[in-house]
Chain A
């Protein structure tokens, strides 16, 4: 079945450091790919998405590119802030109206 693998956390970075969280997937067909963020004590929020190969999703300084050849959707941010501390989930959707398949999540802590 479909699956998502993302790098194990926790990840601890200093403010203004560069962030990469790796995500790879296994799926039949052409899934849509997502990054969700969960801030402490809150629900999941969609951070960005890409629906086809070579699409780049971006939001709040974060970006990820749908790479079909490497089945990857790595999340990057050039300069992290303390407020970016959260758990980040990579997810895929096989087709419309199907449930999301999530990775295990990566906890990011940014220290001042």
Chain B
């Protein structure tokens, strides 16, 4: 199947700093990428939908100025957590959808963010 990578897999940062997480589709072009957040022992919560070349669509309650999403190309989307705080500590997962195929979302391995 298609491969989606995320980098870094783990990051620890100090409160107030910004962290960038990359999501790449390695062997296919992704017109749409989704960013999810997963809390411990809970489900994935959709944060935003990212379409190549246009602004991301954020879910209700997600601060777009805090979670900056850039879908610069058909193979790369980035999520930047700005001025991170301990409550932003979480597991962030991206998924990518190719040019065709119903429900064919391919998930990255996730990024564990810990804000001290």
Q: Which residues of A contact B (CB under 8 A)?
A: 32, 34, 36, 42-46, 49, 51, 89, 93, 96-97, 99-100, 102-105, 107
* Segment 6-64 of B: residues with Cβ below 8 Å from A: 6, 32, 34, 41-44, 46, 49
CA distance A83 to B108 in the complex (A): 21
Task: Select which of B6, B43, B95 is within 8 A of A105 by beta carbon.
Answer: B43
CA distance A52 to B106 in the complex (A): 21
* Segment 73-116 of B: residues with Cβ below 8 Å from A: 93, 95, 97, 102-103, 105-110
For the residues of B in contact with A, the DSSP-based class is strand
20 residue pairs from A and B, CB less than 8 Å apart: A32-B103, A42-B110, A43-B4, A43-B6, A43-B93, A43-B110, A44-B44, A44-B107, A46-B105, A46-B106, A49-B103, A93-B102, A96-B103, A97-B97, A100-B34, A100-B46, A100-B103, A100-B105, A102-B44, A105-B42
Once the chains bind, are B109 and A42 in contact (CB under 8 Å)? yes
Query: What residues on A are CB-neighbors of B97 within 8 Å?
Result: 97
The 4 closest A-B pairs by CB, nearest first: A43-B109, A44-B107, A104-B43, A102-B43
Once the chains bind, are B34 and A99 in contact (CB under 8 Å)? yes
The number of chain B residues touching the other chain, given as a range, is: 20 to 34
Q: Which residues of B contact A (CB under 8 A)?
A: 1, 4, 6, 32, 34, 41-44, 46, 49, 93, 95, 97, 102-103, 105-110
A90 — nearest CB in chain B belongs to which residue? B43
Once the chains bind, are A103 and B43 in contact (CB under 8 Å)? yes
Once the chains bind, are A99 and B46 in contact (CB under 8 Å)? yes
Query: What residues on A are CB-neighbors of B109 within 8 Å?
Result: 42-43
Once the chains bind, are B103 and A89 in contact (CB under 8 Å)? no
Known: A104-B42, A105-B42. A51 touches B107 (CB 8 A): no
Once the chains bind, are A32 and B102 in contact (CB under 8 Å)? yes
- 19 other contacts beyond A93-B102, A100-B44, A105-B41, with CB at 8 A cut-off? A32-B102, A42-B109, A42-B110, A43-B4, A43-B110, A44-B44, A44-B93, A51-B103, A93-B103, A96-B102, A99-B49, A100-B34, A100-B46, A100-B95, A102-B43, A102-B44, A104-B42, A104-B43, A105-B42
